[in-house]
Structure 1
């Protein structure tokens, strides 16, 4: 049983790392000079624990609050300051609707990464993510693409959320 728990924990860490790297990569592709967004992309999920979304409500836990706490830690503050970034700017950015987090009506880079990665890893994707990314444009107003690519993204969203 102990090996299974360790293996699952390592898998959760791997998945979390892949999400952080994927979101950061998308931020770098679409917003190469938006340093606050790119730092927020790296830091947006550092408060997640294993099964975080699945158990947050039950345990009364909020990964966003822990993320903000970690961003204000001396180690992270020091790193951000070497890049001329303020922790308060990153936290403020993460609290707002943005290309990273999305809005009520607009898909954010965080979820785009999840849909692309999850459908790819389960073998349920028609087009390789790198090809889809070339057909998607992202701005502060959201994600834009042609109709066939948009419909393909909607199929990915349905696959990830309903299967």
Structure 2
């Protein structure tokens, strides 16, 4: 069973390359709240819908003091293509080794079409300015999740 994070836990720090190969660390965002979300694959229908929802709500999230980071096991080149195709203006990070996904409990067994498979568990976390998990959501739906998140965060 994958270890899951809960509110109050220290968010596991990471440094991963963005779509352009630049290293980005969670600690770079210390002092701000950060939405860290994990998704299975760039340019797939559900992941595109979710990313575009974040893109379309980015101004309001930013005004509320929230940064957004999306993490998937995709290679940097695929992330760059996804970013450019969808006009994404928030950070996308590449975790090809799935070490960060695993540390955050976002990789492991899940049910898919009635079968148990191993893969990325679509998950979203809100990290407070001190690096603690404020909210943790596992097995989120790609559609409507950002609206629910905005409601929960009163944004």
Q: TM-score range by the shorter chain?
A: under 0.3
Structure of greater relative contact order (alpha carbons < 8 Å, 6+ residues apart): 2
TM-score, length of structure 1 as denominator length:
0.26
Q: Which has the higher strand share?
A: 2
Larger Rg: 1
With structure 2 as the length reference, what TM-score do the two structures score?
Answer: 0.27
